[in-house]
Structure 1
Amino acid sequence: MPGTSTATIFIKEEPVILSALRAVYWPAGKALIVADLHLGKTGYFRRHGIPVSSGVLEDDLKRLTCLIEGFQPEQLLIAGDLFHHQFNKDILIFQQWRNRYKTLALTLVPGNHDRYETAGYTDLGIEVTAEEYLMGNFRIIHDRQSVCNDRFSFSGHLHPGYTIAGKARQRICLPCFIKTEDYMVLPAFSAFTGLFTGYEAPANTAYFVINNDKLFSF
């Protein structure tokens, strides 16, 4: 991943790596964690008469490929909303991508958008878990509603954004990771999502903001 920013932080005394490509890598577990890919969203919009290029999906998959080639994980963990809706032709593009990484374990912690047929998950080599997935000191869940007392939580769902104000009333909103003492909210992996800034975060919250392939902490 030449030129792409990363940041190594320690959670529960374990190093984890944040990537400006919108992912977290846990070296000890050889696990890559992402959230909110919303596969099929561009196809869903096209079906409803809104012209959106399938190139958006292809760009997302290129980024995912870059992460896998760079970190060489044994497991890809999706913190919800792998799919946007039910089957459409975009899924065939993903299936071609999946065929390149058949030995990679792909685990989905389901989100509110994951309505794909059960048989379809099996055909794609995807293991679907319960509402939360526990591994070591960590919990993976799509929509974090509460703190887990004995584990640090990674979640998605919010599509968090961070607004930076400049001179002359300039403002820009960028995707970000939100980290507190007890949990981290991941940025939406798909570039075809809005950004939400109305979340409430406790004091001493850290923000890792993504601008193209660069990562900045606030």
Structure 2
Amino acid sequence: MIKHITLRGQTFALHSSGVIYWQAKDMLLISDVHLGKITHFRKHGSAVPLNAIHGNFRLLNTAVERFNPKTICFLGDLFHSYKNSEWEYFESWVINTGIVCLLISGNHDILPESLFEKLNMEVWPELVIDDFLLTHHPTERTPYFNISGHIHPAVRLKGTARQSLRLPCFFRSGDQLIMPAFGEFTGSHT
């Protein structure tokens, strides 16, 4: 499902997977994938399904196939932990897609920038494009419209018989749009 919105005269497609496609820039924005988290938790004894790793890449491939972007900008927390086997999957994925990838560093992005540079990925603390400020943490800075991640916003739906369902969502307030977490094993905040 896609919802088109206009921000500062630019058209953005908000996809139900949690990605944003910026039409004028042919750019896909993705936040909080947290690659490496599944392997990290499994290594430390958590019973996380191994197939969730492949789920992350399946989601990435679906988004790329849907929008066919020239550029992907990851808005932080791309890789959750120290280098583990999921890095090799990501490395292969970047090479095989042939898409220009950028990373706005987030609080979990602790891998050396040299690893990303070997993949020809640029790493930025933030990025200004036209009237837009792309960051990991929500940031208010006049005169820009901020698109960020970090918070993992969600909405809780409640039924009449005490049922409830928490779903990731986009959150817009003023000159800010906060993206939901993209990965299979990321959690959310209501």
Question: How does the TM-score come out when normalised to structure 1?
Answer: 0.83
1:106 aligns with 2:101: yes
Q: Distance in 2 between matches of 1:96 and 1:10?
A: 35
2:60 counterpart SS class: helix
- Please give the per-residue CA displacement for 1:157-185, whole angstroms capped at 9, x wherever unaligned: 11111011111222211110001221111
In the superposition, relative to structure 1, how do residues 7 and 122 fare at CA in structure 2: closer, same or farther (>3 Å)?
A: same
- Please give the per-residue CA displacement for 1:134-157, whole angstroms capped at 9, x wherever unaligned: 11121110011x412111111111
CA deviation after TM superposition for structure 1 residue 64, in Å: 1.2
| Residue identity matched to 2:134 | I
2:109 counterpart SS class: coil
- Alignment partner of 2:8 out of 5, 12, 16: 12
Counterpart of 1:160? 153
CA deviation after TM superposition for structure 1 residue 85, in Å: 1.1
1:167 counterpart SS class: coil
1:140 aligns with 2:134: yes
Q: Distance in 1 between matches of 2:7 and 2:154?
A: 22
Alignment length, in residue pairs? 190
CA-based RMSD of the aligned residues comes to 1.2
- Alignment partner of 1:171 out of 156, 164, 167: 164
| Residue identity matched to 1:107 | L
Contact 1:54 1:90 in 2 (8 A): no
CA deviation after TM superposition for structure 1 residue 99, in Å: 1.8
In structure 2, the gaps of 5 or more residues are none
In structure 1, the gaps of 5 or more residues are 198-218
Runs of 4+, deviation exceeding 4 Å:
none
| Residue identity matched to 2:127 | Y
